[in-house]
Amino acid sequence: MPSRSVKIFSGFERFWHWTQMLLIFMLLFTGLRIHGVYGIISFDQAVWLHTWSALFLVALWVFAVFWHLTTGAWRHYLPTTKGLWPVLRFYAWDIFRGKPHPYRKHFWRKHNPLQALTYLGLKLFLFPAIWVSGLLYLTYNYWQDGVSSPWLPWVAVVHVLSAYAIAAFVIIHVYMLTTGGSFRHHVMPMINGYDEVELTPAEEAYLQQDEPGRILGASDHRHSSVERNS
């Protein structure tokens, strides 16, 4: 199938991605200060920034979940074992031998099997864990009934471990941007929305006819077709 430059990331997805990135970095930065790793800002400032960044991120996640469910974008995260082994082998071995990535993006599935599985795990387990534990910690005075609760240390452990797991994901995510192509090649789709994807003839015809703004050169192609027919 031919590859075409297609807008596969909507404006909201790009806004969601970069806003989430900024908020997560803010939470990691302030969280380290709360744990006394550095002293650039005061403890009270760190707690205030951490709390409000977390609340904004929770609101963003709620809206993102609503958007994924109502637009059908959740289908891109459905896990599959089809093609999973070649992708795992690529990152474990073939990438160091200069072999090309075995997965090619499709119009109907923009994440490879490993990405879909990873993102689904983040959304179903890791993000809810840090979300719930953070809200429990924030509302501690409302549910501990004036006495020291034995659950608080466990809430803190879940929250901190989840935060380190997200930090590890961020590091791996940035590292992956440096593999299998230039950094610009991986980042630009999340800036302008366009990426190279394989299209079936039916998919290309649909985009050219009904959504020409999503495929580069579609309008020129359509005009040339009209001229030939006339």
Tell me which of 49-63, 78-92, 101-115, 206-220 is least confident. Answer: 206-220
- pLDDT, tens only, 63-109: 999 999 998 888 888 888 888 999 999 988 888 888 888 887 777 78
Which residue ranges form the domains of the chain, and what is each CATH number? Answer: 3-199 (1.20.950.20)
The share of the chain scoring above pLDDT 70, in percent, equals: 90
Say if CB 107 and CB 203 are below 8 A apart. Answer: yes
Q: In this predicted structure, what is the pLDDT of residue 78?
A: 85
- Phi, psi (rounded to 5 degrees) for 138: -65, -35
DSSP string, 155-168: HHHHHHHHHHHHHH
Stated as kind and residue range, the H or E segment containing 113 is helix 113-121
Of 50, 72, 56, 48, which Cα lies nearest the Cα of 19? 56
Residue 228 Cα distances to 211, 221, 225, angstroms: 21, 11, 5
**Per-residue pLDDT tens digits for 6-40:** 988 989 999 999 999 999 999 999 999 999 999 99
Structure tokens at 179: 């593999």
pLDDT of residue 196: 86
Q: What is the pLDDT of residue 181?
A: 67
User: What does the DSSP 8-state code read for residue 200?
Assistant: -
Looking at residue 148, what is its pLDDT? 65
CA distance 15 to 141: 34
Rounded mean pLDDT, 189-207: 86
Q: What value does the mean pLDDT of the chain take? A: 85
How confident is the model over 203-222, as a mean pLDDT?
Answer: 73
